[in-house]
Structure 1
Amino acid sequence: MRRTPLLLLAALAALLGSLLVAPAAHAAPGHTTRYETIPGEGGTPLRAFVIRPTGRGPGPHPLLVLPTSWGMNNLEYVGAAWRMAHESGYVVVSYTSRGFWDSGGEIGVAGPTDVADARRVIDWAVRNAGGDPDRVGMAGISYGAGISLLTAAADRRVRAVTAMSGWADLAASLYPNRTVGFQAVEMLMGLGHLTGRPGPELRQAEVDYRAGNFDKVLPIAPERSASTKVDQINANRPAVMIAHAWQDGIFPPSQLVDFYNRLTGPKRIMLTPGDHATPELFGAAGFPNEIWESTGRWFDHHLRGVDNGVDREKPVQLKPANGGGWRGYPSWAAATARNSTFYLTRPTTSWTSPQVTGSLAGAASTGWTHRINTGWDTAANSGTIMVSGMLQGFFNIPTGVWMPQVNRSDAAVWWGPDQESATTVNGAPRLHTTVTPSAADTTLYAYLYDVGAVGGGALITHKPFTLRGAKPDVAQTIDIDLEPVTWDVPAGHRLVLVVDTVDPRYLGTSQRGETVTFGSPAGNPSWLRVPTA
């Protein structure tokens, strides 16, 4: 008789156990969020949001570490982090980089302490948040992208990276062809003072910059550039995805294309219209976004082993800067294999062209020279960072010019033929020419425009080039690689090359009262080579 109560008690206990345990075992996936202080290098406190998945078992779970952008705090990625934790089961740590906001220390400009901080965050998340040391990914925008790439070179645990609007070569970004990116440098320094505490390297860099000694700033760049650490990255073999905007006014895309081509592990590059950080901006907040969706698929495949096909897609994905969908290529070389070469002719006037203008011709033209004044601005320019690129990216409003307004005394202009059919500029155009400056230091700006029937031009791409310490009145040959782009040129339009000597985006060296003479010597004609698709 005593067995009946015991059996009833056992059955009741089993029922209660099932009621208590079953919901936890079958709970819908979710996430929790905690605000933590993580000890960085040397014990420096780093403030972080730590998002952990729930309803997915005890773990460990794949880990994503997200260093913040320059001037931003750890709220930057929380929306995306919630989605990744909730939908895919990642432990995500979004932390404020040292020297900014409520994290400790001073701004290290992505130096060794910043890389060490990222490694300490990985250590902490593995020990305290259920992160899997064998499935670690890093992602970031701008400053966070640079730190992520540098950490992947230093730490074998980082198996996948997505670098959005970042840099690989700091000097080539802020000092392209020995020309100071004035608007970019001023914005970065101002934001650093406003939101953080500059460290000794940044303080000294500002002193040298204000004194006009930008060359003294350059020694800090190699250690902070993933381009100098490609061998380490290739040895570690993380899967690297790069996402960038064609019109990025702080870190132009050419230096990242060069870096991408040197990677030997799994890789992907996505180039799209917009300015610095704008293509992925809303995705960081958790809104639907192509770049962040590709980032999620990238991590799902390389960290979670999901067979989602991302490894079978063409790794070079290009979206035209003036509108259109993604176009895939197996390599950068395949995307830019075709070229059209135009030869520069002597700028002259004619009854059809009352202004002094040259042609972009199909045959070499030599034996001519053409002189312009330096130090005077013209209607041709590259626009304003964080404004012009956003207008192009969000509204397809290009940086424009009306060609008759370009003063031919202060700019050299060459018109191409009307396009009989639509064509696509696909890659980095190259200008090869001979110049004779009247001064030791002269800055040139090369612009390539898409010009319609009435002379209205849309800027396709551009690039500065500074001659420093040149011998006055001595001719020299130069090559200017303009920034890469994908741009669809409609039938009936023409390509127009403009070269002048002042652009408000940059801190040039050209002075008024001086000149520069373009030429095309026999045996060395001047030309413009345009990659086409």
Structure 2
Amino acid sequence: MGHGRTPLRTAAAGAVSAALVAGTVVGLAPAAQAAGIRFVDISGDGGTVLKANVVTPAGADGSRRYPLIVLPTSWGLPQVEYLTQAQKLADSGYVVLTYNVRGFWQSGGQIEVAGPPDIADASKVIDWALAHTPADPAHVGMAGVSYGAGISLLAAAHDKRVKAVAALSGWADLIDSIYSGRTQHVQAAAVLDGAATLTGRESPELREIFDNLYSSNLSKEQQMIDWGRKRSPATYVDQLNKNGAAVMLAGAWGDTVFPANQYADFYQKLTVPKRLELRPGDHATAELTGLFGLPNDVWRDTERWLNHYLKGVDNGIDREQPVQLESRSAGGYEGYPDWKSIAATRRKIALVGSTTIHANVDSGADGGIVFLSSILDQVGRLPPVASIPLLPRRWAAVWQSEKYGSAQHVRGTAKLHTTLTPTKESGTLVAYLYDVGPLGLGKLVSNAPYTWHGRTPGTPFGVDLELFSTAYDVPAGHRLALVIDTVDPLYIEHNPSGAQLTFSSPANDPSYVSIPLREQ
């Protein structure tokens, strides 16, 4: 499998999490000096001490009540994370309470990964705020980035007092995020593990989950799935709908920790007032500038959402198209009435013929590097690239469309269907969709991994795989290419030595990749 855990944790994860933590502390510490901020200890579930801060509106004297916003911290970040945004919200008339989730920094306990103690903590924090601040019990909201987003959604499903949620770069399905296609997203897991090691105290259960993930312990697979399901807002979508909190979800197309697919699927199941925003970027990068007080679309819409559903402000956000997407190529926002409407048509690229590739060698087609690649795409529109004509066909299967006479606006989720005959009982493939220019240089549009176990060697079976959702414009004169290989640094692969994969397209079950397209 060839992916060592220790180098990833100490290098990629350590550097990323340390940089985020340092940047947040340095950039936001001055806000702690502002008037109206109190640092407090709150007794969470089981008496665990949670370090928190409270920001109240200027001049608040207890003669009136203010809507309350609770902000649980992100994974690995300290309680000063949101102080700039908290001050802005307090200035506009909110009591804002930020708390460091259990297991991280100075808060007590161990990291439970949004387990039952974390959900109970959120309710305890609300209890404390209602008892010790001029907060209005009828107007309670929650918001947060990443870990704070997931906890906010779970709390809203379990506590009817929460009337509005803004979940930024969070998750709906934890297992579908780091184990989609039955494949371990090893770089994403290493970032989470490394940050937890640097800034917190992992529970024995979490340590076991990480170890089983890295080691591909199939005997513990169901245990891991059950663990993740208990911590997934999607599990409690009926409770969330019943409780009625208005839910705003915001994420990034290139999120290598929580891919956009799982948010989109969750959004479709919500029946409460809802909004879905997806932009270029990686995990939590779209929100980052707002944490430093700079103009930021995500935080602007978060405040508009909370203003409408907690204060009753008629700012028009409820009348806008609820699905707001920003293309990775063109910029600007596109509004849609629902997720299904973003792709008016689908165009299939036939995967004709029979193609055999050898496993265990990286062909050069890759999904990039966690954080770095999607940030480059966000800032400079520079996604991972590969020379499609030069990809070695011994290790990569390649199919291409004809040249398009007009621009193709890819919106949503591309779907692969093919027939696979492996020579071994287990294995992994990674599918990539590329935008190929006249010189054969391919820019990555999307990708996704797929792993199987227990198959009979030499016996064909059908593969259906959803690639990660995206919004990308293919220029006129370009092609789309589907590439399949077996090794990608983002994922743990399960290809035995000497394995070969044959892709075919039977007449009664032709192979294809279905491309979702917006109307011209």
TM-score relative to the length of structure 2 = 0.91
Cα contact 2:352–2:504 (8 A) shared by 1: no
The AA in structure 1 aligned to 2:400 is W
State the alpha-carbon separation in 2 of the partners of residues 446 and 192 from structure 1.
31
1:73 maps to 2:78: yes
Q: Does 2:452 match 1:467?
A: yes
Is the deviation greater in 464-473 or in 214-223? 214-223
SS in 1 for 2:181: helix
- The CA deviation at 1:333 is 1.1
In the other structure, the counterpart of 2:211 is 207
Letter aligned with residue 398 of structure 2: V
**Is the 8 Å Cα contact of residues 104 and 110 (structure 2) preserved in structure 1?**
yes
Q: Is the 8 A contact 1:322 1:392 kept in 2?
A: no
Larger radius of gyration: 1
**Which position in structure 2 is the counterpart of 1:281?**
288
Q: Secondary structure at the match of 1:280?
A: helix
Deviations 1:418-470 (A, max 9, x none): 11011200110111110001111110101000110001111000110111111
172, 183, 189: which one aligns with 2:176: 172
Aligned to 2:121: 117
- Please point out which of 46, 51, 71 is paired with 1:47: 51
Which whole-Å CA distance do the structure 2 matches of 1:435 and 1:314 have between them? 41
Amino acid at match of 1:60: R
Amino acid at match of 1:64: I
Work out which of the residue numbers 189, 193, 200 in structure 2 matches 1:189: 193
Partner secondary structure for residue 281 of structure 1: helix
Give the superposition deviation at 1:285.
Answer: 2.7
Equivalent residue for 1:250, pick from 245, 253, 257: 257
CA apart distance, 1:217:
2.2
Deviations 1:20-75 (A, max 9, x none): xxxxxxxxxx9610111111111111111110002366321000000011111111
2:307 paired with 1:307:
no
The one-letter amino acid of 2:327's match is: P
1:415 is aligned to 400
Q: 1:374 aligns with which of 353, 359, 368?
A: 359
Paired with 1:31 and 1:343, the residues of 2 have a C-alpha distance of 64
Gaps of 5+ in 1: 1-29, 347-368
**In the aligned structure 2, how far is the partner of 1:436 from the partner of 1:109?**
38
Q: Please report the RMSD computed on the Cα atoms of aligned residues, expressed in angstroms.
A: 1.2
SS of 1:375's equivalent in the other structure is coil
How many residue pairs are counted as aligned between the two chains?
481
Could you tell me how far apart the structure 2 residues matched to 1:56 and 1:116 are? 28
Asked whether the 8 Å contact 2:418–2:510 carries over to 1, the reply is yes
Contact 1:152–1:238 (8 Å) recurs in 2:
yes
Alpha-carbon distance, 1:203 to partner = 2.1
Partner of 2:87: 82
Q: Partner letter of residue 330 of structure 1?
A: P
Please say which of residues 181-190 and 299-308 is displaced more in the overlay. Answer: 181-190
Match of 1:231 among 238, 248, 259: 238
2:156 equivalent to 1:163: no
| Aligned 8 A contact 2:184 2:214 in 1 | no
Tell me what 1:394 maps to: 379
Residue aligning to 1:336: 343
Cα displacement string for residues 96-136 of structure 1 (whole angstroms, at most 9, x for unaligned residues): 11000001111111100001111100000111011111111
Aligned to 1:260: 267
Contact 1:68 1:141 in 2 (8 A): yes
Q: Give the distance between the partners of 1:390 and 1:337, measured in 2 at CA.
A: 29
5+ long unaligned stretches in structure 2: 1-33
Letter in 2 for 1:498: V
Moved over 3 A (4+): none
Partner deviation per Cα, 1:68-94 (whole Å, 9 max, x = no partner): 1111111111111011111x2110011
Q: Does the 8 Å contact 1:56/1:89 carry over to 2?
A: no
Matched residue, 1:297? 304
Structure 1 CA distance, aligned partners of 2:241 and 2:306? 18
Quick check: 509-518 or 299-308, which moved more? Answer: 509-518
Return the TM-score normalized by structure 1. Answer: 0.89
Which residue of structure 2 lines up, in the alignment, with residue 14 of structure 1? Answer: none
Please, which moves more after superposition, 431-440 or 401-410? Answer: 401-410
Mean CA deviation greater in 298-307 or 213-222: 213-222
- Aligned partner of residue 311 in structure 1, secondary structure: coil
Q: How many Å separate the matches in 2 of 1:281 and 1:140?
A: 12
Q: CA deviation at 1:209?
A: 3.0
Q: Which amino acid aligns with 2:174?
A: L
Aligned partners of 2:245 and 2:272 also within 8 Å: yes
State the alpha-carbon separation in 1 of the partners of residues 410 and 208 from structure 2.
41
Structure 1 position 276, deviation (Å): 0.4
> Percent identity of the aligned residues?
48
Q: CA deviation at 1:179?
A: 0.2
Q: How many Å separate the matches in 1 of 2:254 and 2:214?
A: 26
Maintained 8 Å contact 1:78/1:285: no
